C-alpha cells in the first residue's frame, strides 16, 4: 500500500483543468514569467479560454433544465495537453483487479494518477443513482487500508473506500478504469500555446461553432437568451418553458445534474461570475508572456463582466424575497463546504440539501413570486444579459486588436 510522500497539491478547482494543475504543481513545473506553478487560470486560457453557451433541455419525467457554458467545451483537455506537449501514458482495463494492480504500480513508482470516476457514486454512501452520472477526473495519490486518497476540487484531501472508488471508476463502459499519468510540459511551447488559446476564445465568440446551432454559442447565444427571456409566445420563451412554480425554481436552483442559473453563476468552475475573473487573470499573464499590454484592457472588460454576472444572480433571485435569498445562500454554502472541507463536510452538506429540498417542494405549492413580478424580473434579466453581451463584445474586440 502506497501514499506518495510530500503530495500536497489540492488547489485545482475545475474538473477539467484542476487535476492537470495539481499534477504539474506536484511535478514542480514552474512558469517562466512568474517562477510559480502554472496557474489554473493559465491552463484554462491555453485550453481555449472563456466562451458562452446557452441550452435548454426537457426530458420526460424530469424538471426542465438550463445549461450554460463558461469556457471552451470542444476537447479542452486534449487541446491543453497537445498545446503544451504534455507527455502522458494511459492504461485501461475492464477487469477491476487489473485496474487496481495498475493503480498500485503507478503509485509505487512515485507518480500520482488521474482516474475518471463517477461523482454521483464516489461521494454517495448508498447505491448509485441510476438516472444520473458524471464522469470526472480526480488525482489519486494514495491507496492504503483507509481507502483511496484523492485530490478533487477541494483544498482538502478526500479518502473514499476502495469498494466505492472501484464502483465509481467502472461506472461507464467506455471510461472504465482509465488511468492517466502525466510528465512535465515543453515550456518552449508556452507562448504559442497562450496565443492559440486567445485566438480560439475569439473564434468561439464570433465564428460558427464547431458543432451545434449558432444560437447556442457566443454572442448569438446571448442575444437569443435575452430575447427568450421576454418572449411570451415562443415555446422556448421563459414564460412558457420555465413558468412560475417548480419549473422556474428548477431553472434557478437546478435539478438532476444541472446546477441551475444560481449554480452556474456562483459555484461553477473557478470562482463566481462564470469564470470571467479567472479568464481575466489568464489575460494578465498572457499580456506579460506575449508582451501585448492591450490584453490587460481586455482583462478589465472580463472583470466587469464577472461583476455583471453576479448582479444577474441578484436580479434573478431577489434579496427582498426571503425564499430566493435563502436558496441562493444555501447553494453557495454547500459549494464552499466542499471546497474548504471536501468529503468530510458530507453531513453538513446533507443538511443543506435537505433544506433546499424543502424549499423546492414549497416552490411547487406556494411559489413566492406572482406572474407580474416574474415578468418584471425576466425583463430585468434580459437587459442584464445584453449588458453582459456588450461588455464581452468590447473585450473580445480588444482581444482581436491586441493580436493584430
pLDDT in tens, 105-118: 999 999 999 999 99
158 and 273 both lie in a single domain: no
63 found inside a domain: no
Task: Output b/e per residue, 342-372; b: 16+ Cβ within 10 A.
Answer: bbebeeebeebeeebeebbeebeeebbbeee
155 and 270 both lie in a single domain: no
Give the pLDDT score at 130: 61
Give the pLDDT score at 210: 84
The parent domain of residue 161 ranges over 2-30+88-182
Q: Strand (E) positions, 213-256?
A: none
225 found inside a domain: yes
- Indicate the residue among 160, 182, 204 that finishes a domain: 182
Domain count, the chain: 2
387 found inside a domain: yes
Q: Is 6 exposed, middle or buried (0-12, 13-18, 19+ CB in 10 A)?
A: exposed
75 found inside a domain: no
323 and 367 both lie in a single domain: yes
Give the pLDDT score at 211: 85
Low-confidence residues of the chain: pLDDT under 70:
1, 124-131
DSSP sequence for 266-290: HTSSSSTTTTHHHHHHHHHHHHHHH
CATH code of 154's domain? 3.90.70
126 and 258 both lie in a single domain: no
Alpha-carbon distance of 367 to 373, in angstroms, equals 11
164 and 209 both lie in a single domain: no
333 and 257 both lie in a single domain: yes
116, 137 Cβ separation under 8 angstroms:
yes
Q: Is 286 exposed, middle or buried (0-12, 13-18, 19+ CB in 10 A)?
A: buried
163 and 274 both lie in a single domain: no
151 and 206 both lie in a single domain: no
167 and 208 both lie in a single domain: no
102 and 204 both lie in a single domain: no
327 found inside a domain: yes
137 found inside a domain: yes
Give the pLDDT score at 49: 97
247 and 334 both lie in a single domain: yes
Amino acid at each position: 500500500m502506497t501514499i506518495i510522500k510530500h503530495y500536497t497539491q489540492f488547489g485545482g478547482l475545475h474538473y477539467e483543468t484542476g487535476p492537470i494543475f495539481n499534477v504539474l504543481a506536484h511535478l514542480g513545473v514552474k512558469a517562466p514569467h512568474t517562477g510559480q506553478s502554472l496557474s489554473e487560470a493559465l491552463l484554462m486560457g491555453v485550453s481555449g479560454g472563456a466562451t458562452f453557451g446557452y441550452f435548454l433541455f426537457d426530458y420526460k419525467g424530469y424538471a426542465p433544465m438550463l445549461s450554460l457554458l463558461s469556457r471552451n467545451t470542444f476537447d479542452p483537455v486534449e487541446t491543453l495537453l497537445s498545446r503544451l506537449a504534455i507527455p502522458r501514458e494511459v492504461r485501461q482495463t475492464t477487469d477491476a483487479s487489473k485496474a487496481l494492480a495498475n493503480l498500485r504500480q503507478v503509485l509505487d513508482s512515485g507518480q500520482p494518477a488521474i482516474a475518471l470516476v463517477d461523482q454521483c457514486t464516489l461521494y454517495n454512501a448508498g447505491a448509485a443513482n441510476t438516472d444520473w452520472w458524471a464522469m470526472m477526473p480526480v488525482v489519486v495519490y494514495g491507496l492504503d487500508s483507509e481507502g483511496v486518497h484523492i485530490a478533487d476540487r477541494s483544498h482538502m484531501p478526500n479518502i473514499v473506500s476502495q469498494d466505492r472508488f472501484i464502483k465509481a471508476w467502472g461506472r461507464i463502459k467506455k471510461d472504465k478504469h482509465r488511468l492517466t499519468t502525466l510528465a512535465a510540459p515543453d515550456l518552449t511551447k508556452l507562448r504559442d500555446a497562450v496565443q492559440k488559446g486567445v485566438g480560439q476564445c475569439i473564434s468561439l465568440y464570433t465564428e460558427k461553432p464547431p458543432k451545434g446551432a449558432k444560437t447556442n454559442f457566443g454572442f448569438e447565444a446571448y442575444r437569443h437568451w435575452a430575447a427568450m427571456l421576454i418572449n411570451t409566445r415562443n415555446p422556448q420563451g421563459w414564460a412558457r418553458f420555465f413558468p412560475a412554480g417548480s419549473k422556474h425554481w428548477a431553472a434557478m436552483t437546478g435539478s438532476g445534474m444541472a446546477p441551475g442559473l444560481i449554480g452556474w453563476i456562483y459555484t461553477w468552475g473557478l470562482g463566481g461570475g462564470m469564470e470571467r475573473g479567472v479568464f481575466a487573470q489568464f489575460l494578465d499573464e498572457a499580456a506579460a508572456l506575449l508582451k501585448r499590454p492591450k490584453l490587460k484592457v481586455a482583462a478589465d472588460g472580463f472583470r466587469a463582466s464577472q461583476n455583471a454576472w453576479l448582479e444577474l444572480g441578484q436580479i434573478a433571485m431577489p434579496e427582498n424575497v426571503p425564499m430566493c435569498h435563502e436558496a441562493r445562500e444555501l447553494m453557495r454554502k454547500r459549494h464552499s463546504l466542499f471546497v474548504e472541507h471536501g468529503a468530510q463536510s458530507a453531513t453538513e452538506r446533507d443538511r443543506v440539501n435537505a433544506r433546499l429540498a424543502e424549499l423546492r417542494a414549497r416552490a411547487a405549492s406556494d411559489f413566492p413570486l406572482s406572474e407580474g413580478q416574474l415578468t418584471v424580473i425576466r425583463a430585468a434579466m434580459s437587459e442584464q444579459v445584453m449588458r453582459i453581451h456588450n461588455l464581452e463584445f468590447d473585450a473580445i474586440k480588444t482581444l482581436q486588436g491586441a493580436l493584430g
